């Protein structure tokens, strides 16, 4: 397999230097990449869109359960959301490797503006039905499948290698801060006063802000060589698969992430709101509060790694942190009160986010630039 790609199997545990000690890094080391104009624009737009997604996470179950108060309904919407993400993610990575990544990100944001905006308009008009949500959420998932690999691939294009740990820490810091802490809390208030439809419209507007920030970034002229044919697409995908197979650390962590996505992400989005509403007697604000505790944990995990730098045993650290996160997930099933869910959410997010900062840094430093989207 190594002969197919020409790439040796990298030992991720030793290939990336530890970096400066905390004392040498300084108290605000994590924020250094924000001095780079293009990264500051990328990060700002991403942060605003994450705020909208945090609002969306509260509005979605409220809207679905208003249409049909059974877990099957939210499960269908959850599948419509995650299935395109899984199916189109590799193709989204291929697109980000062949085309101008900034334009791919803008296109993904516009798809999400249209999909979530349509849900909001239909909801406000009082004509929204479950099948509308399933179709539109699927398009939202496609937008995410385009955005996520392009975002991950563009960061090393605009951030110096020595600042990638800080850039990944900023990414993992703002994600729980906006997506889990601020967004859901704000979402609970918006849904309470404006309804789910108003929350969806605000979420759509945040994607518009992200697209505008991306448009202000320095244009690039990155164009794929050769014509785009079925054969060339197959060849590009084969190269991506071959590279991943040749890197033990990469396919191992990707396999673990795929299992986590299928076994946890969907159930978390579907069952946690259902348990809070039907078993614990909570409302939208309680759903938001559980997400907020997850956000606080995620912030802690990101700040610790962002300030201290990469741990010495990179891969071992990731698997230990992910194992702790997996154990914390059981707390959601055992919870008999809201504070149990708060604790489970905090521990789960803190350990998972710390691992993701390390994983993202390894990906950016070790994967060749022309393969980042497909890795």
Whether residue 53 has pLDDT greater than 90: yes
Domain extents in the chain: 33-218+235-374
* Weakest mean pLDDT among 69-73, 114-118, 135-139: 69-73
Whether residue 247 has pLDDT greater than 80: no
* Weakest mean pLDDT among 91-95, 100-104, 208-212, 219-223: 219-223
Superfamily of domain 33-218+235-374: MFS general substrate transporter like domains (1.20.1250.20)
Whether residue 185 has pLDDT greater than 90: no
Whether residue 168 has pLDDT greater than 70: yes
What confidence score (pLDDT) does residue 146 get?
Answer: 92
Q: Which residue has the higher pLDDT, 334 or 215?
A: 215
How many CB atoms sit inside 10 A of residue 146's CB?
A: 25
What is the percentage of the chain residues whose pLDDT exceeds 90?
28
What confidence score (pLDDT) does residue 217 get?
Answer: 95
Q: Which residue has the higher pLDDT, 65 or 368?
A: 65
What confidence score (pLDDT) does residue 1 get?
Answer: 38
**pLDDT category, 129, cuts 50, 70, 90?**
very high
The contacts of residue 27 (CB under 8 Å, 6+ apart) are 307
What confidence score (pLDDT) does residue 10 get?
Answer: 47
Q: Select the highest-mean-pLDDT range: 96-100, 144-148, 181-185, 255-259.
A: 144-148
Mean pLDDT of 144-152: 90
What confidence score (pLDDT) does residue 372 get?
Answer: 59
Mean pLDDT of 122-135: 95
Closest CA to 317 of 325, 328, 212, 365: 325
Whether residue 3 has pLDDT greater than 50: no
What confidence score (pLDDT) does residue 16 get?
Answer: 53
Specify whether the CB–CB gap between 309 and 22 falls below 8 A.
yes
pTM: 0.74
**pLDDT category, 370, cuts 50, 70, 90?**
low
Residues in the chain: 375
Mean pLDDT of 17-25: 47
Distance CA 218, CA 85 (A): 28
Mean pLDDT (the chain) is 81
What confidence score (pLDDT) does residue 367 get?
Answer: 74
What confidence score (pLDDT) does residue 15 get?
Answer: 52
What confidence score (pLDDT) does residue 364 get?
Answer: 73
């Amino acid at each position: 397999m190594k002969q197919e790609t020409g790439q040796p199997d990298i030992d991720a545990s030793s290939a990336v230097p530890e970096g400066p000690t905390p004392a040498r890094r300084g108290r605000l080391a994590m924020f250094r990449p924000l001095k780079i104009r293009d990264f500051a624009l990328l990060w700002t737009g991403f942060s605003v869109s994450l705020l909208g997604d945090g609002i969306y996470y509260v509005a979605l179950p409220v809207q679905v359960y208003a249409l049909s108060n059974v877990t099957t309904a939210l499960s269908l919407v959850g599948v419509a959301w995650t299935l395109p993400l899984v199916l189109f993610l590799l193709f989204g990575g291929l697109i980000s490797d062949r085309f101008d990544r900034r334009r791919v990100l803008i296109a993904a944001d516009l798809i999400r503006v249209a999909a979530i905006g349509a849900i909001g308009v239909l909801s406000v008009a009082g004509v929204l039905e479950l099948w509308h949500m399933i179709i539109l959420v699927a398009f939202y998932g496609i937008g995410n499948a385009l955005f996520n690999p392009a975002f991950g691939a563009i960061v090393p294009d605009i951030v110096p290698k020595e600042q990638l740990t800080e850039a990944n820490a900023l990414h993992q810091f703002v994600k729980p801060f906006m997506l889990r802490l601020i967004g859901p809390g704000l979402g609970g208030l918006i849904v309470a006063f404006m309804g789910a439809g108003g929350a969806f419209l605000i979420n759509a507007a945040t994607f518009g802000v992200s697209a505008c920030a991306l448009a202000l970034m320095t244009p690039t002229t990155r164009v794929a060589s050769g014509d785009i044919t079925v054969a060339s697409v197959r060849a590009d995908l084969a190269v991506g698969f071959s590279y991943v197979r040749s890197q033990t650390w990469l396919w191992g962590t990707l396999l673990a992430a795929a299992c986590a996505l299928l076994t946890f992400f969907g159930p978390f989005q579907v069952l946690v709101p259902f348990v809070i509403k039907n078993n614990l007697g909570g409302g939208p604000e309680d759903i938001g509060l559980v997400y907020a505790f997850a956000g606080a944990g995620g912030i802690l995990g990101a700040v610790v790694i962002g300030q201290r730098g990469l741990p010495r045993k990179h891969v071992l650290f990731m698997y230990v942190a992910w194992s702790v996160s997996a154990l914390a997930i059981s707390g959601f099933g055992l919870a008999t009160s809201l504070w149990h869910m708060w604790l489970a959410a905090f521990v789960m997010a803190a350990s998972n986010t710390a691992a993701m900062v390390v994983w993202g840094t390894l990906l950016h430093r070790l994967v060749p630039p022309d393969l980042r989207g497909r890795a």
